[in-house]
Amino acid sequence: MARRKTTTQALVPTSMKDLKNTLWKAADKLRGSLDSSQYKDVVLGLIFLKYVSDAFEERRRRIAEELSAEGFDEEAIEESQDDPDEYLGNGVFWVHPDARWEHLVALAKVHDTQTIGQRITEAMDLLMADNSSLEGTLPRLFNRENVDQQRLGELLDLLNSLQFAGEGATKARDLLGEVYEYFLGQFASSEGKRGGEFYTPASVVRTIVEVLQPGHGRVYDPCCGSGGMFVQAEKFLAAHHADASDLSVYGQELNEATWRMAKMNLAIHGLTGNLGPRWGDTFTLDYHAGEQMDFIMANPPFNISDWNRIEGDARWVHGVPPVGNANYGWIQHILSKLAPGGSAGVVMANGSMTSNAGGEGEIRANIVENDLVTAMVALPEKLFRSTGIPVCLWFFAKDKTAGPGGRIDRTGQVLFIDARGLGHMVTRAERAFSDADIQRIADTYHAWRGMDRLPLGTKDLSPTGDPEGDGAPVPTGPAGELGEYEDVPGFCRSVPLAEIKQAGYALTPGRYVGMPEPEDDGVPLDEKIARLTAELEKQFAESERLQQVVREQLGRLR
């Protein structure tokens, strides 16, 4: 049997622009024959298969290069190339010969006892059998009756032009991660409300992540969708040159297809996460019961009326949430999961800040009086593709004293931020935050808590920026200098609990931050009043003149 030849030819990864164009063309190939939820699984599944094959082949080439340089003969090289541990130990999935992309493409138009859909399904089964992190994750719908096998073969040809190798496994993974997020966003846009079930806008997720700075410990999302919160946490760590293994990921998701997408998304980004043994309802079967989390980031479904409230549930510490709305069920579940020094950021509908229906006002009052709310952020409209409901961010902490969470004691205070004026329109119907918008919100919170902004490149992700533990901030230069917190009329204000109580425990930022101060144009106030008075007198005189003209004209008609 002839030995397989090795090659060291350099590969150039596909540009992001070309990837996006190809991806949406790929979706169009199946859009007429499958509903959106199915073609999403088909296309994302094939993109994932292409990625793992490219990463596998690149690792295979590198093994040959490394061993050849060390003087090993061809037989020894091939033996190492066929050792799964050489791949798994380097963060690369092992791909069985029958699951490799080039093998499937070669058979895409071969008509025998097996369809291409059968072969792809078997490839997915082999991948899951050989890589434990993928168990129960990959789609297996490629051979269903409603999948056009000819179009499926054409789709393989189209995706064959994509190249995820050439700059190392990490670069390839980052490229695929961006592709995956792009596609999730596109599907969320095309599927409307249904798409929003699995996708939270990246700028909203980034705002939560930048405020919380999840650098270590356990991070949890009780309704994790496609895993966007975890991915942004990993990006935060990467931006600060920290190890993603410092975070332990926990999550749960009710929808089976979305749970599988989340598992794939974590695998794509090199994250090992505990998303439970399968999909399931967080309220009725908490897969992480008893676990305490350092960071919780969540975007629960808004105002859900059909939910499984359990009577006598130990999570209802602050009051039993109403049957007709799960908002305060989610909030109390999240609070029940927070470790003593933990913090959380949660997306909620604006109604949660003021509602008194079904006892929600009492629950909110109890949460405020127990000093668990650190900050409230009002968000602008149109951030979400899937809903027009105005939303806000709630931030919680079990401990607001000076310490690991910040150098300033904020016991008995809540920070209110009105960010409704931030953001820019990216389409007619969608708004997004810029990096500067996100940084402004995060910097305001960090200054209020006495936390330093972490500069890119630091490996210290402790909340106080104090790796030596001596209480002194790290000399990080301009990136770390936030200065002292100050209230900014119209944007932010630190409010004592007594004032919130006086307002009936309403938590709407606009109620507390007031109006922005008028811009100072350098003109003294008395001069402005004199000028405006003179202009007003001129307008009154003109009005009287016009009235006289009208009267004269009417007189001529008599």
Question: Residues 288-343: pLDDT tens digits?
Answer: 999 999 999 999 988 898 899 998 999 999 999 999 999 999 999 999 999 999 99
Rounded to an integer, the average pLDDT of 94-105 is: 95
Nearest CA among 165, 149, 155 for reference residue 53 = 165
Say if residue 190's pLDDT is above 70. no
pLDDT at 185: 65
- Chain mean pLDDT for the chain: 83
- Decide if domain 195-513 falls under CATH 3.40.50.150: yes
Give 357's pLDDT tier (boundaries 50, 70, 90).
very high
Question: Residues 6-43: pLDDT tens digits?
Answer: 333 334 445 666 666 666 666 666 666 666 667 778 88
Provide the β-strand partners of residue 376: 394, 416
Q: Specify the higher pLDDT residue, 413 or 193.
A: 413
DSSP 252-303: --S-HHHHHHHHHHHHHTT--EE--SS---TTT--TTTT--EEEEEE-PPTT
Q: Specify the residue for token string 């409704």.
A: 420
How many Å apart are CA 338 and CA 356, to the nearest integer? 25
Regarding pTM above 0.95, the answer is: no
How many Å apart are CA 120 and CA 325, to the nearest integer? 43
Say if residue 463's pLDDT is above 60. no
Say if residue 157's pLDDT is above 80. yes
pLDDT at 191: 55
pLDDT at 455: 54
Rounded to an integer, the average pLDDT of 204-229 is: 92
How many Å apart are CA 223 and CA 207, to the nearest integer? 18
pLDDT at 41: 81
Nearest CA among 29, 399, 404 for reference residue 213 = 404
How many Å apart are CA 386 and CA 189, to the nearest integer? 7
Question: Residues 104-149: pLDDT tens digits?
Answer: 999 887 777 899 999 999 999 999 999 988 888 899 989 988 888 8
Q: Specify the higher pLDDT residue, 192 or 424.
A: 424
Rounded to an integer, the average pLDDT of 504-519 is: 90
Q: Specify the higher pLDDT residue, 255 or 7.
A: 255
Q: Which two tokens stand for residue 120?
A: 């792809």
Give 466's pLDDT tier (boundaries 50, 70, 90).
very low
Give 491's pLDDT tier (boundaries 50, 70, 90).
very high
Q: Which two tokens stand for residue 96?
A: 């069985």
Write phi, then psi, for 241 (nearest 5 degrees).
Answer: 55, 40
Question: Is the CB of residue 254 less than 8 Å from the CB of residue 260?
Answer: no
Question: Residues 405-450: pLDDT tens digits?
Answer: 889 999 999 999 999 999 999 888 788 999 999 999 999 999 999 9
Say whether 408 sits in a helix, a strand or coil: coil
pLDDT at 235: 83
Distances (CA, A) of 162 to 14, 19, 221: 6, 7, 33
pLDDT at 33: 65
Give 387's pLDDT tier (boundaries 50, 70, 90).
low
How many Å apart are CA 295 and CA 459, to the nearest integer? 19
pLDDT at 183: 67
Question: Is the CB of residue 380 less than 8 Å from the CB of residue 422?
Answer: yes
Rounded to an integer, the average pLDDT of 215-238 is: 89
Provide the β-strand partners of residue 344: 296, 396
**16-186 CATH pick, 3.20.10.10, 1.10.530.10, 1.20.1260.30, 1.10.3720.10:** 1.20.1260.30
Point out the least confidently predicted range of 96-105, 159-168, 363-372, 484-493.
Answer: 159-168
* 469 Cβ contact partners less than 8 Å away, ≥ 6 residues apart: none
**Which stretches does DSSP call E strand in 308-426?**
338-349, 373-378, 391-397, 413-418, 424-425
Q: Specify the higher pLDDT residue, 141 or 395.
A: 395
Cβ atoms < 10 Å from Cβ of 78: 18
- Given phi > 0 = left and psi -120 to 50 = alpha, else beta, which region is 281? beta
Question: Is the CB of residue 121 less than 8 Å from the CB of residue 142?
Answer: yes
Task: Give the pairing of strands 391-397 and 338-349.
Answer: antiparallel
pLDDT at 98: 96
DSSP 126-168: HHHHH-GGGTTTS---TTSTTS-HHHHHHHHHHHTT----SS-
Distances (CA, A) of 362 to 56, 320, 416, 504: 56, 10, 20, 10
Instruction: Please tell me which of 98-112, 214-228, 301-315, 345-359 the model is most confident about, judged by mean pLDDT.
Output: 345-359
Point out the least confidently predicted range of 262-276, 362-376, 396-410.
Answer: 262-276
